[in-house]
Structure 1
Amino acid sequence: MKSSSVTAREKGTDLLKVRDLHVEGFSDERWHPIVRGVDLSLKRGEVLGLIGESGAGKSTIGLAAMGYAKPGCRITQGSVLFDGVDLLSMSEARRRRLRGSRIAYVAQSAAAWFNPAHRLLDQTVETAVAHGIASRDKANRDAIDLYRRLQLPEPETIGFRYPHQVSGGQLQRAMTAMAMACRPDLIVFDEPTTALDVTTQVEVLASIRRIVEDFNTAAIYVTHDLAVVAQMADRIMVLRHGQTVEEADTRQMLTTPTQEYTRTLWAVRKLAKPEIRTQDHLLAIDNVTAAYAGRVKVLVDVSIKVPRGRTVAVVGESGSGKSTLARVVTGLLPAMSGSMSFDGKPLTLSLKGRSKDLLRRIQMVYQSPDSALNPRQTVEEIISRPLEFYLGLKGQQRDERVGELMHMIEMDESFLDRLPGELSGGQKQRICIARALAANPELIICDEVTSALDQIVQEEILKLLMRLQHELGISYIFITHDIATVRAIADEVVVMHKGQVVEQGLKTEILAPPHAAYTELLLSSVPQMDPDWLTGLLARRNPIFK
């Protein structure tokens, strides 16, 4: 389907060889090192996993392997040999011809990379046709074959849908099909399953692994999820502060890491909160049904109670109604029927019917701080706004409270004059928490607040939330698809599926067998730190993978 040198196809030879890679980024009016002298090699058909906490340089290295640096970054030293030719020394025009045809990229958020105005099939075949690799008819047939290999529903017709007409998991697989359309020698996967629920993640991981094996494609798999990289990678490279900590075969790395930092990564997320049963409920939701624009019901007769000073985790796959439940509680989506009470008093279903004080008492922290924070406001302005709006604080009183809130989220006041773009992902999420705390709420709804964070930062945020709950007596509704997070932070668990509550109760009751069938599906889909886990799971669920 495409020409490729014999050298790249010879067994045992390196398709990609990166040596002494240095990358810098520009901020605070100067250049800062991001990647410091990294070496890596990759053979055809091999998958290299890059892991490490935020700021380790994982994505930067993945992009540099394509001869690319993001705006505001520059490659200052080293070589990137792809099939024996240095990508960094060739012309930009030649690099562009390679990208998409022989080198491809799959991003974390497929929704951000698809053009909403064009059908999936048109976007899948565009590169193959533009590079002259295939005619439009052949490219269409190849795309349908890829859709089938990637286990997409109705492969013959799904390509005629627009991006918004498919689920997140389906769109992620469609992006993988788009990357594979030219049968590239190398694919860079940059956190492709981070935002997916566990059941969808299993499907996408299986699809990616099958397509890489079928076409003997080399891949770099960037992730912060250790259990995921255990399923996907032949070798793992651990990174920190832009440098290689250690590198080894996956099984060896999982069982006998040599460096203390790696052992620390392996040990995170072992938090376990003992739950306490209480009948003192702050929020009661009774037989609530909700729909968007009066169409298909998204919530059906949902009843949930949230104890005062406790955490209720709401779990379920994409489309189960978790985030819709949050919108109903906050009044952003008025329920069609049912009732709610807060602190023993009726809670108006519509936002418009709620007093300012009631709005103050129920706050929300969103999944993506990048979209939740105004990029043009400083940290001080962001936190000050609710203090002024809800509490009427001004001047010295307001400034002192801002300082107290910064102390609560374990950040010092030197961050107050920074913009969100100058903060790490974990720091931005802490600012979102401080903004919610500024209103002195009694209930905070946390909607997937740790899903985009690396595991070390996730642990820090969870510890922060638990400490704040202990000190302030706040109740949480914690929406998540991460069972490890549930084990860490929840007192009670609500399992949702297709807009209904499947089961609910104390964490120990819900997570201990026997489980309801759907709960069992969720729990069995949580990746384990075992390289054979995915293979075994697929074999049990579908004989085709045996």
Structure 2
Amino acid sequence: MGKIIEIRDLRVEAKTDSGRVVEIIKGVDLSVADGEIVALIGESGSGKTTIALTLLGHTRPGCAITGGEVVVAGRDTVTMSEAQKRALRGTEVAYVPQSAAAAFNPSKTIMDQVVEVAKIHHLMPLPEARKKAVELFKALALPEPETIGQRYPHQVSGGQLQRLSAAMALIGDPKVMVFDEPTTALDVTTQIEVLRAFKSVMRERGMAGIYVSHDLAVVAQIADRIVVLKGGEVQEVGTAETIINQPTHSYTKALIEAFHPKGRDPDARPESAEPQPILKVSGLTAGYGAVGSDGLPKFVILKDIDLELERGRSLGVIGESGSGKSTLARVIAGLLPAAKGSVAMDGVSLGQRTKDRSKEELRKLQIVFQLADTALNPNKPVGAIVARPLAFYHGMGGREREAEVDRLLDMVRLPKALRHRLPSELSGGQKQRINFARALAARPELILCDEITSALDTVVAAAILELLDELQRELGLTYMFISHDLSTVEAVCDRVAVMYRGEKVEEMPTSRMQSGAEHPYSKLLIASVPKLDTGWLDGLHQNPAISEGMNRA
């Protein structure tokens, strides 16, 4: 079997904020055979995406290839001219990004964008390209393949958009596909559909691929071989089966250990004689759009939700995209008014909007948002962002405030030197930890965590979860943890509420999740969590919870 990709002694340098040049890829060697899918695994900053992008002859701003060869289909992308690189992209090598939403132009129809590669490279007449696009939509198991191309990007779901970005990449019949964390932002049930579609198309076409991910369980379903990276160096290479079941390198073992977060010990929190609810949600109905004569918004997202959360405990809220999880957090935080129902904290009813709440009520209840990119002011350095709540809620200034900023950065495992950087100069994981540090600065009693580990690699996420647990014990914090990652909820939460189409369909202790779920949708969610087993995805059709849950859904 021939080698479609051969990377030899690849070296990439980057320039730091201070102008210092550092080597971020340090002599990497790897190869990919025809029809083989190789996964690049490692924590944030390990060099996964940097290596993958060199296959397209591309480096990020501030980076440069300083040595080695990146040979794709017999041609070295390092020595190519810019014109040759442009000709390569989309025809020889194609790229599927992590965020399909950012890859699509919102003002153009999906079809116009999918056929763009064929148009740019003059690969075929447009009518033929459109016909081929429909065939790809069918192969990727997209709904209404004949007409979905007429829609705009905002008119399809996240999972559908991710598969459409694959169709855009496949239309030029590339020899190599580069997948850059394509399922990270998807809920577990959608992730299954996308992985199945990717695997089916790649197998059918005998294509080679590089799959970048920090999720070992996802990689186990699609990769033939795994390359483990850390600090720009290869730590271990082996078949997916060998890496997962018989790792030899200590770092690989740490990655696998981090995949299994420690579950919540039911005896870790002493039971008080009369548990005190810190948060009580009663009959909550909310949504978006104009309010009708019935007092309900045009689009009702939450329907009659009841929840209670005890002080010092953690409640997980799980469900697929669109189930109402984040809307629930926004209503509780006062960012979206409820149409009906109430939110009470320590027995006192809270105002519907933040402007109707006192400074003390705002301090006690903080929210950490899923998208750190939009939650942090891009024009302010990290130190100023974290310092703002210290001044606003506690009147802190001068050296005291500066020392507290340093302490908060240390609490979320970030170096003090980051305080001078802008958010754009941080990785996704670093931005999310700044987000959390800012919430902690208020010294809250209840924190609403909206998918706060979804952007983090496995090792860092495990460290953050340990930190959350530690802070809860030390500070008596209470958490509502919104997530589509069930293993995260299991690790952090005492109880879990399952949301489905705006309703709470079940609530149970997390210790009962795996064996005691009763609602078909709860069973579907739990059965859809990828296992560290290379045969898991192919054997899913045999799981009765999957078929029963899908039928109910």
| TM-score bracket relative to the smaller structure | over 0.9
Gaps of 5+ in 1: 1-11
Secondary structure of the residue aligned to 2:83 is helix
Q: CA deviation at 1:411?
A: 4.1
CA contact (8 A) 1:409 1:434 kept: yes
Q: Which residue of 2 aligns with 1:280?
A: 276
Q: How does 1:105-504 map to 2 (within 5 A)?
A: 105-268=95-258, 269-275=260-266, 276=269, 279-293=275-289, 294-504=297-507
Cα distance in structure 2, aligned partners of 1:152 and 1:474: 43
Cα distance in structure 2, aligned partners of 1:428 and 1:330: 21
Cα distance in structure 2, aligned partners of 1:407 and 1:66: 38
Cα distance in structure 2, aligned partners of 1:469 and 1:291: 32
Secondary structure of the residue aligned to 1:171 is helix
Cα distance in structure 2, aligned partners of 1:285 and 1:93: 60
Normalised to the residue count of structure 2, the TM-score between the two structures is: 0.93
Which of the residues 4, 10, 13 maps onto 1:24? 13
Q: How many matched pairs?
A: 532
Secondary structure of the residue aligned to 1:37 is strand
Cα distance in structure 1, aligned partners of 2:415 and 2:146: 56
Q: Which residue of 1 aligns with 2:85?
A: 95
CA contact (8 A) 2:55 2:93 kept: no
CA contact (8 A) 1:228 1:527 kept: yes
Secondary structure of the residue aligned to 2:504 is strand
Q: Name whichever of 258-267 and 316-325 sits farther off.
A: 258-267
User: Which whole-Å deviations, capped at 9, do the CAs of 1:72-128 have from their partners, x for residues lacking one?
Assistant: 111110111111121221211011011012210000000001000001111001111
Cα distance in structure 2, aligned partners of 1:51 and 1:262: 9
Which of the residues 45, 67, 77 maps onto 2:67? 77
Which amino acid in 1 is paired with 2:155? Q
Cα distance in structure 2, aligned partners of 1:159 and 1:122: 8
Secondary structure of the residue aligned to 1:291 is strand
Alpha-carbon spacing, 1:218–1:380, altered in 2? closer, same or farther (3 Å) = same
Secondary structure of the residue aligned to 1:495 is strand
Percentage of identical aligned residues:
49
Which amino acid in 2 is paired with 1:96? R
CA contact (8 A) 1:494 1:505 kept: yes
Q: CA deviation at 1:253?
A: 1.6
Q: Please list every run of at least 4 consecutive aligned residues from structure 1 whose deviation after the TM superposition is greater than 4 angstroms.
A: 539-542
User: Which whole-Å deviations, capped at 9, do the CAs of 1:389-414 have from their partners, x for residues lacking one?
Assistant: 12222223323433443343344534
Q: CA deviation at 1:266?
A: 1.1
Cα distance in structure 1, aligned partners of 2:173 and 2:414: 47
CA contact (8 A) 2:109 2:151 kept: yes
Q: Name whichever of 144-153 and 275-284 sits farther off.
A: 275-284
Q: Name whichever of 224-233 and 390-399 sits farther off.
A: 390-399
Q: Name whichever of 392-401 and 224-233 sits farther off.
A: 392-401
Alpha-carbon spacing, 1:359–1:158, altered in 2? closer, same or farther (3 Å) = same
Q: CA deviation at 1:41?
A: 1.1
Which amino acid in 1 is paired with 2:150? F
Which amino acid in 2 is paired with 1:20? D
Q: Name whichever of 277-286 and 488-497 sits farther off.
A: 277-286
Q: CA deviation at 1:243?
A: 0.7
Q: CA deviation at 1:366?
A: 1.5
Cα distance in structure 1, aligned partners of 2:340 and 2:218: 41
Normalised to the residue count of structure 1, the TM-score between the two structures is: 0.94
Which of the residues 507, 530, 533 maps onto 2:533? 530
Cα distance in structure 2, aligned partners of 1:413 and 1:134: 55
Alpha-carbon spacing, 1:537–1:398, altered in 2? closer, same or farther (3 Å) = same
CA contact (8 A) 1:183 1:215 kept: no
What CA RMSD, in Å, does the superposition of the two structures yield over aligned residues?
1.7
Q: CA deviation at 1:380?
A: 1.8
Given the alignment of the two structures, is residue 45 of structure 1 paired with residue 58 of structure 2, yes or no?
A: no
Cα distance in structure 2, aligned partners of 1:39 and 1:404: 40
Cα distance in structure 1, aligned partners of 2:219 and 2:413: 31
Q: CA deviation at 1:30?
A: 2.0
Gaps of 5+ in 2: 290-296, 548-553
Q: CA deviation at 1:538?
A: 3.7
User: Which whole-Å deviations, capped at 9, do the CAs of 1:125-155 have from their partners, x for residues lacking one?
Assistant: 1111221212111111111111111111111
CA contact (8 A) 1:426 1:461 kept: no
Q: CA deviation at 1:156?
A: 0.7
Secondary structure of the residue aligned to 2:105 is coil
CA contact (8 A) 1:43 1:218 kept: yes
Cα distance in structure 1, aligned partners of 2:407 and 2:98: 35
Q: Which residue of 1 aligns with 2:294?
A: none
CA contact (8 A) 1:313 1:478 kept: yes
CA contact (8 A) 1:291 1:298 kept: yes
Q: Name whichever of 276-285 and 320-329 sits farther off.
A: 276-285
User: Which whole-Å deviations, capped at 9, do the CAs of 1:487-508 have from their partners, x for residues lacking one?
Assistant: 1100110100100001012212
Cα distance in structure 1, aligned partners of 2:235 and 2:75: 27
Cα distance in structure 1, aligned partners of 2:172 and 2:191: 24
Q: Name whichever of 395-404 and 440-449 sits farther off.
A: 395-404
Alpha-carbon spacing, 1:166–1:391, altered in 2? closer, same or farther (3 Å) = same
